[in-house]
Chain A
């Protein structure tokens, strides 16, 4: 149980284009999902907290107009990297916290490798 999927697992795009990454909780509902970015040999940096039915909360230094987050249902959150540039190349990971349970555990997706040429 508690499986989170991400799609696509990797994507290569040209500079200036937009890329959408999906995060789905497959066997549970998640009011709250999180988006992280991880550069090589570095730890996970939280980008934003995504709440179903409301606006995402972005961490300091993360441009909300560049990284668009939509959490339209209890099982799906999307991250759109708009006008991507090579410096946006990174490993993007989402996580989901089960709704209705008194748990502090987050379940992570397998990650999406974004390469911007």
Chain B
């Protein structure tokens, strides 16, 4: 069965460092991959989308890579700030389907 795994349940890093989160998938062929941010008690907020034919996408301090051979996406936050502390979710979607499937999420904490 299809499976989406995010590297760790929680990640704790020092302010100013780069946070790197991992999303791996098996038994799935996504047409695109998305990253969302979710704060406690709130709905997810869309951050970035990367398609299967793209290697890298950037948006301000965020960078996403997508390796369909490794079946992996990396999500980087450079110059991390305490305000970046949240749960980050990856989600995969197929070309022919409208729905997306979420990974389990990584809770990121940035300490001052």
Contacts and interface: CB of A to CB of B under 8 A. Distances in A.
Interface of A: 4, 6, 32, 34, 42-46, 49, 91, 93, 95, 97, 104-111, 113
A43 B89 contact: yes
B98 A49 contact: yes
Contacts of B98: 32, 49, 97
B42 A110 contact: yes
A113 B43 contact: no
Contacts, number: 50
Interface of B: 31-32, 34, 36, 41-46, 49, 89, 93, 98-105
A46 B99 contact: yes
Given A105-B34, A111-B43, A43 B102 contact: yes
A110 B93 contact: no
Contacts of B99: 34, 46, 49
A5 to B, nearest CB: 10
Contacts of A108: 36, 43-46
Contacts of B34: 104-105
Nearest to A48: B99
